[in-house]
Amino acid sequence: MIRRPELSLPRMKRSIVIAGHKTSIGLEHAFWHSLKEIAAPEGTPVRQLVNRIDSDREHANLSSAIRLSLLDHYRRLANEAAPGGKGKRQ
């Protein structure tokens, strides 16, 4: 595993508006980076991606729902890239 010091920074809190109300979300830098990485190709702002995760979540804690959503995203990518995987994303 390659160590990336910029991704191991401590947890960061950011304020974001979700469903019309302002809330604070605490995530490690690597998760904020991943949100940006996923949102950019879609041309979606991070706040919109977080709103989507919030509306689809089944977990009480938004930070946990974000982490699990990111894990699911990267697992799908790994599965598609694996031999015998589903191939390229559409």
Separation between Cα atoms, residue 44 and residue 42, nearest integer Å:
5
Return the closest-CA partner of residue 63 out of 29, 36, 27. 27
Task: List the domain boundaries for the chain.
Answer: 10-81
What's the whole-model pTM score? 0.79
Specify the CATH number of the domain 10-81. Answer: 1.10.3990.20
Query: Letter for the amino acid at 47?
Result: R
Q: How confident is the model at residue 2 (pLDDT cuts 50, 70, 90)?
A: low
Q: Where are the beta strands (DSSP E) in the chain?
A: 11-18, 21-28
* pLDDT (average), residues 76-84: 90
Alpha-helical runs (H) found in 2-61: 29-42, 46-56
pLDDT per residue as tens digits for the range 22-71: 999 999 999 999 999 999 999 999 999 999 999 999 877 999 999 999 99
Report whether pLDDT(3) > 90: no
**Under a CB-based contact definition with an 8 Å cutoff, are residues 29 and 8 in contact?**
yes
